[in-house]
Amino acid sequence: MTGRRMMRAALLEACGQPLRIVDDVEIDAPRPGEALVRITHSGVCHTDLTIIEGPSPFALPVVMGHEAAGEIVAFGGPSDGFALGDRVVVSIRAPCDDCFFCKRDQPVLCEKSAVRPGEGEVRLWRGGQPVSRGLNLGAFAEYVLVPLRGMVRVPDAVSMAEAAVCGCAMQTAMGSVVNVADCDQTTTACVIGLGGVGLAIVMALKTVGARQVTGIDPVEVRRATAQGLGANLTLAADDQGKLAKALKATDGRGFDTVFDCVASSATSAEALTLARPGGEVVLIGVTSTPQAPGGSTMELVMRHKRLTGSFLGNAHTGRDIPIIFEAIRAGTLPVARLITHTLPLERINDALDLMRRGEGVRTILTL
Ligand SMILES: [Zn+2]
Ligand SMILES: [Zn+2]
């Protein structure tokens, strides 16, 4: 195929090993309905780390990275209102608005844009051999191919680093709070796991005015960050009395909504205990191997609780990201506070180490 471009990328060649920066990954030219975007800012999400540690659902080698922003450098056909040089955030979903799921307001399941791991078409090459794109994007690289419906123009009031965080963490958080759980000012909520997505959920809950927000995490600095973002109560994950203390914050009734951003058997069991009768548990985290949800089915049935999965907060890229951008511009969503480190792409392994040690919240890689 002609028109391929050579680029720099961070390659995962073997799970558990450091990523390797190479300069000779080739990316296909964009097709009609696609743009080629030169990445300038790429966030490191815990999902990337989970896959890097292994096992990987994608064939190796793979370029991970799925939370990014950059500039449009080429179109494969009509530009659909975009222009060369536009600053855009890219998303892993580009809902078609026309398929079975899109018509049922489940854009993250869009039949035309939701690609299962391993089923994505090869668009990257190295020495003539295929290279996978993690989550069908591969943004730890100079360039990505994005469907036009998977991009949103970044307004001047939003920095490219902030825009990148909106691609995954903030889109997931706001969508989980508003689209999935329907939280508002009457809501009491507990967030288990205060990493990038968990803290973004705390922020989103405060934005909708939730009246009681409790956060649980093992890392003190993350709990402190949650407090700074307005959480009413934070508890250490290893505090044996944490469930009783959390429930006390709701007069013993339990929370309307519990967001489990770890989504392990252990935390989902805790989440089910913390949800009030008639309340909801929303599972968000991605684990390397599937885990059975914990807790009792009778707790769900007899106390009329709901257990829901949330992928990307059921966000519709073109509809929801502009709303998030407007909240950033208005000063009601301080996304910049999630960004604790900025490193060049070459130091991606240091960024992964920061996440392994639980230091900081979001590292943005610059290119
Ligand atoms: Zn992510
Ligand atoms: Zn669709």
Q: What is the mean pLDDT of each run of 10 residues along the chain (367 residues)?
A: 88 97 98 97 95 94 97 97 98 95 96 81 95 95 97 98 97 97 97 96 97 96 95 97 96 97 95 97 89 91 96 96 97 95 98 92 96
66 burial type by CB count under 10 A (0-12 exposed, 13-18 middle, 19+ buried): buried
pTM of the model: 0.94
Cα 221 to ligand 2 centroid, rounded to whole Å? 40
Q: In this predicted structure, what is the pLDDT of residue 290? A: 86
Query: So what's the architecture of 182-309 in CATH?
Result: 3-Layer(aba) Sandwich (3.40)
Three-state DSSP state, 68 = strand
Q: In this predicted structure, what is the pLDDT of residue 2? A: 63
- Written as one string, the DSSP assignment of 141-178 is BSEEEEEGGGEEEPPTTS-HHHHHHIIIIIHHHHHIII
Q: How many CB atoms lie within 10 A of CB 241?
A: 10
Ligand nearest to the CA of 91: 1
Chain mean pLDDT for the chain: 95
CA–CA separation, 281 vs 159, rounded Å?
Answer: 33
| Superfamily of structural domain 5-169+314-366 | Medium-chain alcohol dehydrogenases, catalytic domain (3.90.180.10)
Cα 253 to ligand 1 centroid, rounded to whole Å? 32
Ligand nearest to the CA of 104: 2
CA–CA separation, 19 vs 173, rounded Å?
Answer: 28
Tens-digit pLDDT profile for residues 302-336: 999 999 999 999 999 999 999 999 999 999 999 99
Task: Give the number of C-alpha atoms closer than 13 A to the C-alpha of residue 273, restricted to the C-beta side.
Answer: 16
Tens-digit pLDDT profile for residues 94-152: 999 999 999 999 999 999 888 887 777 899 999 999 999 999 999 999 999 999 999 99
Q: Which residues are placed with Cβ below 5 angstroms of ligand 1, an ion? A: 45, 47, 168
240 burial type by CB count under 10 A (0-12 exposed, 13-18 middle, 19+ buried): exposed
CA–CA separation, 37 vs 90, rounded Å?
Answer: 9
Cα 110 to ligand 2 centroid, rounded to whole Å? 4
